[in-house]
């Protein structure tokens, strides 16, 4: 599960200071899907970076599965990310010079695992078995999104963080991806999705609306 | 396994880029490895030449009364020396006598054992032999009877069977065991060589202080190819022998002395040739770094992704190392292969021979280069946020540019250059008479600083050109890009960083090619001048009674110039004096302006032509006698005449003249007896013409040619054939220039595939895309040619000035190897055209295919 | 009125033999000046392929396609907006907008004036000197719209122009596009999966399995 308490994050560029997060707390239980929505610039991406352990908040604390991930040395954070967190971006989830299957295998090995069975099952569930040997540049938009999900789920994470995962998909491709995310949640994963898609909001157990770095 | 997957992916999908990086490493490896092969071969040549040049390796001088040494290494022969009070001969009722001399007793097979020691001019070697000078003094010929005045014994007479020349008289009559600082002893004027039995018959009863015994030794010549190692081995053996002789004999180590000189030369040439080669290797390294860097954007995205997935520092290190090793090992191996091929092409031996150490060091360098260039970019930033930040393509100038580091470096180079060359301070000192060189490494600083400074300055200039200089570029682009000129220039200006890097590297590659080519050509030109100076002309004949016209009739001779030679006293000093014919001398031999301080060769010769009693003297004489132009000088000639002259100028070098003081005057005024003929050939090889002349003139005349002289004169350094080095350096200069222009441009175009595809979608025709590409190609080519050419010329100028000591005499102009520079231009143009054509073709692909692939 | 584009039984197949993939087939359609069409359909239904064919960026493997109003020379005379970034990275916003005009042979100064006017019209005049990497997604798409406007094409084709934008921003960009098309009297085709976006356009075509289902 995910516990984020009182997160603050400021950016400074020259004279200007942007307050991206102004005291956000968020708890997501295993099996729960939380959608984060809000206009652009409301702090969605910053919040996701902080809870995924990709960025440190200036104030506040983030725990995943009971382990603090914020404010630790980068090496520790990397280890925790590999074991506990799966991240899915809108695009660019795959290493271009590796095939789809190799991308998933690479993610597993980075997490210190060898789980060919899980890998095959993932690809099968996501309808990608036939494309396992394809290069990322040859995948269609929907396939690329599903492949990104396969990589994110490669290590059975406790927390799945997705930033606009269906932004480039139409509704018909969006459906299967969201179903798969939903399925994953049932296997005791906490899911946080930032999206402005109505379908995501409908699928979520809870919607958190952000405005100007605060929960609206 | 993780590493393996990663590497396999890279090798299948990023083949081109990895290959380009490996090619850069290969070049950085191949250049030093090939240079090493050249040096090893040059050193072996130096050792071989030294061994070849020595007629008798050791002269073991026995103490009077000492027993015959037990065992000597190699092949040894006993040689006896006896002092003779004088020689006498009666010819047609006239008695001719000479001063004191030496009579040597030689075993029968001496001439076959030590073939270099004496050369038969006429007669046979079977009996007593007279040295040429003695024979001339006595007017003796084979068959003449010569009387010897034996000290403490009655006169004796022998019948001469042959006349010989003693080319190695200096070492033959050396004082064995003399301290190294002692003045070399002049050999005796008169020498008679006797069969051992005759000598014993004549001199066994001589007083013991008038005779001495030497054992001449020829060592086993299986020496290490490196002169230093050979020197250590030979001198060690000599000391060992002396110790064994326990004071009863001393070793005159001729071979050791020759190898010692070669050892110094080898050290120097190693430094010099490395110094010339280092910029090439550095350029190859920079090229590799640029190639590696060109994928930075995508690489950074991949790294961010890996970090997001929780890859640890160790994982990164492993992946980075795998990529580095793939590039490094491939590069190093191909580099060694290229070097081996070069060696095979130049020296006919495929192995590394004596350069195995070089090969290992070069390969290690290659791996180091790979680590230094690939590793940092493959390791990437420390945190995810840092890695996800877009790669800075900032237009802010680097710190060195703002602080003017380039200008400081160039200024420092000029200061060091003035200090090291301005006040007659020479990097290389050639002590008079000794073919040995001592090196001051400090003066290499000037050119090194200039290299660094010029590189950065070129970078600054290209940045300026693409920044504030944009209107100029727009105007330049107008003919190629027409209406698109403004847009094209805007594109180029935004690509300022990578484009100026490309132009700088290309310009430096051109500078490397130009400076090396000019330096090498000048070096070869001066080696030729040196030989000509020593020999006088293509072929030189002395001691002949033949007339100018007879000589001119010999096939292969195009011009004959008589040069009188005599001696005159300047104070107490006996100096050589040369009589020239001012009207024709310049067409028969090459007189450099540097021989005549205070005027050109033409001016000074004209001065002689105008006033018959004009005299050129050495700088030293001018100083000693406080001479001013027009001063009267009275010379006492060797034959007793006193002749008045007027001082008309200074001469430092003259064909056939010795290195120290000498005089030059008009032949018609001097009226000296000896005439040397300077003979220019019509293009026939000088040694062939020399052979014909020898056959025509008989054994009395001395004939020498410039080719043979070049092999004999000077240090063993100038004897090294630079062909190999030139081929290696110029080859790499070409490769670097082509790679820097072509490869980097193509990489730049690859990065902009998206831009070109989008422009196509907006309706740009292939010809309009060509405007973008050809403008950039032209700009890079022009920049490289102009800036690189200028830098190369400045570097060559500085190198030649700083290394003046290598050139003896100093050159008055740089030799420009036009054919090679033409080849560089041609290949550069080809590379540019190829890069442009490849880019245009790629840009003309259907834009959708391109956009889908990106 | 002369049709801007006309397709007759158009098909596009990728690859050959057993590997062949039929992207679109049996497309017969026509657009007149002023027509504004939204093309919807699941991913992989062939929307993008159809758009590329209409824009003259790709050729059909069967059937005919023509641009009668453009004398069948479509190159450079059709405004195109891509799904991803469609600006040229080394050029600033104004230069990007001026580029189609310069390519068409207009003098630099005139092209620049037109470009600034177009930027002003879509409300991003302040961004004229910014490089694409300094622009947000919405800003970049608005500059792309300005580029289309400056080229005054008679056909505008936009492929998922709002995929990476907030819905509010997406609606704004599409409104801009319809406005621009109306101003120019041009035909407009927008491929989208957002029903709100599709509703802004008077005509709607649906693609299914490579064919138009209307």
Quick one: pLDDT at residue B351? Answer: 65
- C-alpha distance from A75 to closest chain C C-alpha (Å): 31
**Tens digits of residue pLDDT in B534-545:** 777 888 887 777
Partners of chain C (3+ Cβ pairs below 8 A): A, B
Residue with tokens 């019948």: B159
Specify the DSSP element, H or E, that contains B362: helix B356-379
The pLDDT assigned to B349 comes to: 66
Distance to chain B for C18, nearest Cα, Å: 22
Whether A209 contacts chain C with CB within 8 A: no
Residue ranges for chain B with pLDDT beneath 70: 179-185, 349-354, 378, 380-396, 421-441, 572-574, 638, 658-660, 673, 710-723, 804-810, 849-854
| Chain B residues closer than 8 Å to C76 by CB | 762-764
Residue C203 CB coordination number (10 Å): 14
Q: How far is CA B111 from the centre of its chain?
A: 35
Rounded-to-integer distance, Cα A78 and Cα A83, Å: 9
Per-domain residue ranges of chain B: 1-56+229-388, 58-218, 393-534+722-854, 537-705
**Closest residue of chain B to A85, computed from CA coordinates:** B309
Q: Distance between CA B782 and CA B66 in Å, rounded? A: 79
Average pLDDT, chain B: 82
Mean pLDDT, residues A160-165 = 89
A79 interaction partners in chain B (CB closer than 8 Å): 310, 312
According to DSSP H, which parts of chain A are helical? 44-51, 74-84, 100-110, 116-125, 141-152, 171-186, 198-203
What is the pLDDT at residue C57? 83
**Residue B610 class from Cβ within 10 Å (0-12 exposed, 13-18 middle, 19+ buried)?**
exposed
CB interface of C with B, residues 131-190, below 8 Å:
131, 133, 147, 151
- The number of folded domains in chain A is 1
Cα–Cα distances (Å) from B268 to B600, B711, B760, in that order, read 32, 19, 59
Residues of B in contact with A157 (CB under 8 A): none
Set of chain B residues whose Cβ sits within 8 Å of the Cβ of A54: 307-308, 384-385, 388
Task: Give the separation between CA B442 and CA B449, rounded to whole angstroms.
Answer: 12
CA atoms within 13 A on the CB side of B287: 34
DSSP H helical ranges for B671-752: 686-697, 706-712, 716-719, 723-738, 744-751
List A61's β-bridge partners, or say none.
A5
The runs of H, that is alpha helices, within B83-146 are: 110-113, 132-138
| CB pair distance less than 8 Å for A95 and B306 | yes
- Supply the pLDDT for residue B430: 39
What subunits touch chain A, counting only 3 or more CB pairs under 8 A?
A: B, C
Judge whether C110 is closer than 8 Å to chain B, CB to CB. Answer: no
Inter-residue contact A90 to A167 (CB < 8 Å): yes
For A76, name the nearest residue in chain B, comparing CA atoms only.
B312
Distance CA B288, CA B281 (A): 11
Measured between CB atoms, does A85 come within 8 Å of chain B?
yes
pLDDT at position B439, please? 53
**Domain range for residue A106?**
2-215
Nearest to A65 by CA among A162, A156, A164, A180: A156
pLDDT band at residue C94 using 50, 70 and 90 as cut-offs = very high
Question: How far off is chain A from B830, nearest CA to CA, in Å?
Answer: 32
Distance from CA of C15 to the nearest CA of B (A): 13
The closest CB to that of B14, out of A49, A54, A97, belongs to A97
B781-838, pLDDT tens digit by residue?
A: 999 999 999 999 999 888 887 776 666 666 777 888 898 889 888 988 998 999 899 8
Q: Which chain A residues touch B312 with a CB distance below 8 Å? A: 75, 78-79, 82, 110
> pLDDT for B637-676, tens place per residue?
767 778 888 888 888 888 877 666 788 888 888 777 678 8
What is the per-residue pLDDT for A140?
77
- Rounded to whole angstroms, how far apart are CA atoms A152 and A172? 21
pLDDT in tens, B69-78: 777 888 899 9
Residue C19 clears pLDDT 80, i.e. is over it? no
Q: β-strands B428-429, B438-439: how paired?
A: antiparallel
pLDDT at B244: 86
Interface-testing mutation among C42, C137, C138, with chain A (most A C-beta atoms within 10 A)? C42
Which A residues, 4 through 23, put their C-beta within 8 Å of a C-beta on chain B?
Answer: none
Is residue C51 within 8 Å of residue B761, measured between CB atoms? no
Flag whether residue C103 sits within 8 Å of chain B, measured between CB atoms: yes
> What is the sign of the dihedral through the CA atoms of C81, C85, C87 and C92?
positive
Å from A73 to nearest chain C CA?
Answer: 31
Give the pLDDT mean for A89-114: 88
Closest C-alpha among A185, A135, A124 to residue A158 = A185
Which residue is it, tokens 């068959």?
A: B143
B5 reaches C (C-beta below 8 A): no
Q: Report the gap between the CA of C102 and the closest CA in chain B (Å).
A: 6
Residues in chain B with CB shorter than 8 Å from the CB of C140 are none
Q: What pLDDT shows up at residue C98?
A: 92
**Are B435 and B720 contacting, i.e. CB atoms less than 8 angstroms apart?**
no
User: Which pLDDT belongs to residue A127?
Assistant: 85
Q: What is the DSSP letter of B728?
A: H
Is residue A191 less than 8 Å (CB to CB) from chain B?
no
CB-CB under 8 Å, B384 with A55: yes
Contact A165/C at CB under 8 A: no
- Measured CA to CA, the distance from residue B376 to residue B358 in angstroms comes to 27
CA–chain centroid gap for B831, Å, is: 31
* Tokens (6 digits) for B665: 């005057």
Residue with the two structure tokens 């157990």:
A205
Strand order in the sheet with C62-66: C21-31, C5-14, C62-66
pLDDT at residue B453, as a whole number: 93
- Tell whether C92 is within 8 A of chain B (Cβ): yes
CA B336 vs CA B24, B37, B253, B330, B730: distances in Å? 13, 11, 40, 10, 18
Task: Please indicate whether residue A43 or residue B160 has the higher confidence score (pLDDT).
Answer: B160
Q: What is the pLDDT of residue A99?
A: 92
pLDDT digits (tens, 9 = 90+) for C182-209: 988 899 999 887 777 888 899 989 888 8
CATH number for position A104: 3.40.50.300
Find residues 329-388 of chain B whose CB sits inside 8 Å of chain C.
Answer: none
Element (H, E) at B154: none
* Residue in this structure with the two tokens 């350029």, named with its chain if needed: B283
List the one residue out of B82, B194, B190 whose CA is nearest residue B137.
B190
Q: Check residue B420 and give its pLDDT.
A: 72
At A150, the pLDDT band (50, 70, 90 cuts) reads very high
A-B Cβ pairs (cutoff 8 Å, strict): 80
**Does A99 contact chain B (CB < 8 Å)?**
yes
Q: Terminus-to-terminus CA distance in chain C, angstroms?
A: 23
Is A75 an 8 Å CB contact of chain B? yes
Best residue in C15, C193, C195 for a mutation probing chain A (most A CBs within 10 Å): C193
Q: Is B179 on the interface with C (CB under 8 A)?
A: no
Measured in angstroms, the CA of A39 and the nearest CA of chain C are apart by 7
pLDDT of residue B400: 80
Q: Report residue B660 as tokens.
A: 């120290």
Banded model confidence at residue C71, pLDDT cuts 50, 70, 90: confident
Chain A residues in contact with C165 by the CB 8 A cut-off are 40
Subunit contact B494:C103, Cβ cutoff 8 A: no
Query: Given A90, A140, A196, which is nearest C43 (Cβ)?
Result: A140
Contact (CB<8Å) C44/A168: no
Is C31's pLDDT higher than 80? yes
Q: Which residues in A lie closer than 8 A to residue C213 (C-beta atoms)?
A: none
User: In angstroms, how far is CA B787 from the centroid of its own chain?
Assistant: 27
Confidence of residue A159 (pLDDT cuts 50, 70, 90): very high
Query: CA separation (Å) from B251 to B61, B106, B176, B177, B339?
Result: 6, 19, 7, 7, 43
Which chain C residues in 167-186 lie under 8 Å from chain A, judged by CB atoms? 167-169
What token pair was written down for B301? 């995205």
- Other CB atoms within a 10 A radius of the CB of residue B555 amount to 11
Of C52, C77, C98, the CB nearest to B763: C77
Which of A36-55 are b and which e, b meaning 16 or more Cβ less than 10 Å from the residue's Cβ? bbbeebbbbbbbbbbbbbbb
For residue C21, the model assigns a pLDDT of 74
Taken in order of first residue, the domains within chain C and their CATH numbers are 34-56+74-205 (3.40.50.300)
Q: What backbone torsions phi and psi does residue B188 show, to the nearest 5 degrees?
A: -65, 150
Identify all chain C residues contacting A142, using CB atoms and an 8 Å cutoff. Answer: 43-44
Is C52's Cβ below 8 Å from some Cβ in B? yes
Residue B656: both structure tokens together: 């056939």
* Best CA proximity match to A129, nearest among A120, A118, A142, A140: A120
Residue of C nearest to A170 (CA): C193
Average predicted confidence (pLDDT) for chain A: 86
Minimal CA separation from C46 to chain A, in Å: 11
Residue C43: list chain A partners with CB under 8 A: 140-142, 169-170, 172-173
Chain C positions touching B487 (Cβ under 8 A) are 91, 95, 98-99, 102, 108
Structure-token pair, residue B77:
């022969």
Cβ–Cβ < 8 Å for B168, B258:
no
Nearest C-alpha neighbor of A136 from the set A102, A88, A85:
A102
Q: Do A110 and B315 touch (CB under 8 A)?
A: yes
Chain C CB contacts of B769 under 8 Å are none
A49 touches chain B (CB under 8 A): yes
B86-129 pLDDT, tens digit per residue, is 999 987 778 888 888 999 999 989 988 898 888 887 788 889 99
């Amino acid at each position: 599960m995910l516990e984020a308490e009182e997160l603050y994050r400021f950016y400074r560029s020259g004279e200007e200071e942007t307050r991206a997060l102004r005291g956000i707390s968020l708890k997501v239980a295993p099996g729960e899907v939380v959608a984060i929505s809000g206009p652009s610039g409301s702090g969605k991406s910053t919040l996701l970076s902080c809870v995924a352990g990709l960025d440190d908040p200036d104030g506040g604390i983030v725990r995943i599965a009971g382990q603090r991930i914020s404010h630790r040395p980068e090496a520790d954070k990397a280890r925790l990310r590999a074991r506990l967190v799966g991240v899915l971006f809108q695009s660019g989830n795959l290493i271009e010079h590796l095939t789809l299957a190799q991308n998933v295998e690479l993610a597993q090995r980075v997490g210190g695992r060898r789980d060919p069975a899980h890998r095959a099952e993932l690809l099968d569930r996501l309808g990608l078995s036939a494309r396992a040997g394809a290069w990322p540049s040859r995948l269609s938009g929907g396939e690329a999104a599903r492949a990104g999900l396969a990589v994110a789920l490669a290590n059975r994470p406790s927390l799945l963080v997705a930033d606009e995962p269906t932004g480039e998909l139409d509704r018909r491709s969006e459906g299967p991806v969201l179903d798969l995310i939903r399925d994953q949640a049932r296997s005791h994963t906490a899911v946080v999705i930032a999206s402005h898609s109505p379908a995501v909001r409908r699928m979520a157990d809870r919607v958190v609306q952000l405005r100007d770095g605060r929960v609206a | 396994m993780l590493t393996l997957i990663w590497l396999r992916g890279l090798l299948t999908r990023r083949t081109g880029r990895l290959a380009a990086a490996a090619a850069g490493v290969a070049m950085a490896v191949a250049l030093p490895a090939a240079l090493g092969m050249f040096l090893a071969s040059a050193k072996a040549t130096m050792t071989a030449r030294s061994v070849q040049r020595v007629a008798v390796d050791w002269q073991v001088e026995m103490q009077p009364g000492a027993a015959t040494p037990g065992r000597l290494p190699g092949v040894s022969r006993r040689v006896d020396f006896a002092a003779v009070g004088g020689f006498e001969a009666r010819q047609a009722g006239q008695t001719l006598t000479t001063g004191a001399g030496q009579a040597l007793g030689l075993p029968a097979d001496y001439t076959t054992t030590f073939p270099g020691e004496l050369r038969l001019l006429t007669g046979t070697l079977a009996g007593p032999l007279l040295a040429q000078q003695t024979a001339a003094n006595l007017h003796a010929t084979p068959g003449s009877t010569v009387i010897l005045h034996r000290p403490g014994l009655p006169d004796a007479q022998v019948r001469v069977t042959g006349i010989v020349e003693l080319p190695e008289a200096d070492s033959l009559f050396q004082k064995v065991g003399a301290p190294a600082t002692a003045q070399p002893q002049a050999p005796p004027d008169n020498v008679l060589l006797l069969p051992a039995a005759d000598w014993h018959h004549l001199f066994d009863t001589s007083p013991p202080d008038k005779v001495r015994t030497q054992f001449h030794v020829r060592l086993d010549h299986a020496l290490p190819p490196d002169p230093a190692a050979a020197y250590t081995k030979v001198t060690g053996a000599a000391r060992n022998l002396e110790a064994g002789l326990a004071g009863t004999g001393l070793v005159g180590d001729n071979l050791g002395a020759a190898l010692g000189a070669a050892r110094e030369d080898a050290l120097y040439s190693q430094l010099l040739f490395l110094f010339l080669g280092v910029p090439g290797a550095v350029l190859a390294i920079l090229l590799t770094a640029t190639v590696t860097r060109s994928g930075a954007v995508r690489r950074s995205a991949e790294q961010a992704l890996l970090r997001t997935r929780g890859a640890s520092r160790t994982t990164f290190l492993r992946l980075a190392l795998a990529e580095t090793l793939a590039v490094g090992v491939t590069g190093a191996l191909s580099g060694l292969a290229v070097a081996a091929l070069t060696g095979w092409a130049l020296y006919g031996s495929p192995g590394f021979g004596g350069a195995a150490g070089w090969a290992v060091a070069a390969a290690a360098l290659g791996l180091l280069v790979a680590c230094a260039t690939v590793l940092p970019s493959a390791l990437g930033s420390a945190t995810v946020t840092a890695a996800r930040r877009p790669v800075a393509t900032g237009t802010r100038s680097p710190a060195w540019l703002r602080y003017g580091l380039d200008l400081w470096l160039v200024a420092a180079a000029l200061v060091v250059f003035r200090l090291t060359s301005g006040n007659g301070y020479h990097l290389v000192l050639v002590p008079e008479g000794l073919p040995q060189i001592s090196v001051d490494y400090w003066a290499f600083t000037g050119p090194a600083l200039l290299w660094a400074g010029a590189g950065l300055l070129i970078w600054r200039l290209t940045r300026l050109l693409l920044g504030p200089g944009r209107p100029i570029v727009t105007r330049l682009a107008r003919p190629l890009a027409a209406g698109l000129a403004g847009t094209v220039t805007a594109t180029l200006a935004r690509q300022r960083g990578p484009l100026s890097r490309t132009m700088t590297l290309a310009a430096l590659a051109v500078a490397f090619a130009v400076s090396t080519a000019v330096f090498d050509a000048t070096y070869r030109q001066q080696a030729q001048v040196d030989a000509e100076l020593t020999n006088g002309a293509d072929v030189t004949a002395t001691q002949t009674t033949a007339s100018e016209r007879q000589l001119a009739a010999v096939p292969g001779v195009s011009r004959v110039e008589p040069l009188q030679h005599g001696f005159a006293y300047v104070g107490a000093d006996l100096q050589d004096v040369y009589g020239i014919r001012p009207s024709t001398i310049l067409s028969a031999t090459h007189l450099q302006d540097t021989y005549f301080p205070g005027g050109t060769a033409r001016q000074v010769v004209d001065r002689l032509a105008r006033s018959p009693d004009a005299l050129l003297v050495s700088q030293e004489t001018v100083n000693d006698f406080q001479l001013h132009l027009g001063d009267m000088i009275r010379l006492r000639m060797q034959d007793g005449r006193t002749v008045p002259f007027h001082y008309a100028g200074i001469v430092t070098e003259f064909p056939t003249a010795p290195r120290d003081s000498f005089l030059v005057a008009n032949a018609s005024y001097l009226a000296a007896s000896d005439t040397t003929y300077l003979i220019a050939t019509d293009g026939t090889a000088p040694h062939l013409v020399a052979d014909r002349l020898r056959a025509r003139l008989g054994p009395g005349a001395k004939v020498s040619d410039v080719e043979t002289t070049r092999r004999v004169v000077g240090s063993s350094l100038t004897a090294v054939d630079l062909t190999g080095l030139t081929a290696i350096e110029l080859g790499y200069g070409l490769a670097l220039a082509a790679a820097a222009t072509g490869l980097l441009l193509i990489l730049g175009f690859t990065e902009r595939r998206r831009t070109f595809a989008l422009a196509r979608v907006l309706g740009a025709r292939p010809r309009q895309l060509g405007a973008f590409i050809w403008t950039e190609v032209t700009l890079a080519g022009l920049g490289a040619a102009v800036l690189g050419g200028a830098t190369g010329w400045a570097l060559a100028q500085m190198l030649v000035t700083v290394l003046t000591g290598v050139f003896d005499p100093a050159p008055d102009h740089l030799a420009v190897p036009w054919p090679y520079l033409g080849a560089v231009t041609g290949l550069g143009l080809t590379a540019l055209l190829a890069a442009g054509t490849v880019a245009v073709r790629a840009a003309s692909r259907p834009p959708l295919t391109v956009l889908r692939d990106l | 009125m002369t049709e801007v584009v006309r397709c007759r039984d158009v098909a596009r197949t990728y690859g050959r033999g057993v590997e062949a993939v039929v992207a679109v087939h049996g497309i017969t359609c026509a657009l007149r000046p002023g027509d504004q069409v939204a093309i919807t359909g699941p991913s992989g239904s062939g929307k993008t392929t159809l758009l590329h064919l209409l824009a003259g960026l790709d050729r059909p493997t069967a059937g005919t396609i023509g641009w009668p109003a453009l004398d069948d020379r479509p190159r450079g005379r059709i405004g195109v907006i891509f799904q991803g970034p469609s600006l040229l990275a080394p050029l600033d916003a104004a230069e990007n907008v001026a580029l189609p005009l310069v390519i068409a042979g207009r003098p630099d100064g005139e092209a620049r004036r037109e470009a600034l006017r177009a930027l002003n019209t879509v409300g991003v005049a302040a961004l004229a000197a910014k490089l694409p990497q300094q622009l947000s997604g919405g800003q970049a798409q608005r500059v792309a719209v300005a580029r289309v406007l400056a080229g005054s094409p008679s056909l505008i084709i936009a492929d998922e122009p709002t995929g990476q934008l907030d819905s509010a921003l997406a609606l704004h960009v599409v409104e801009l596009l319809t406005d621009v098309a109306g101003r120019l009297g041009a035909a407009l085709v927008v491929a989208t999966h957002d029903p709100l976006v599709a509703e802004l356009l008077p005509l709607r075509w649906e693609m299914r399995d490579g064919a138009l289902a209307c």
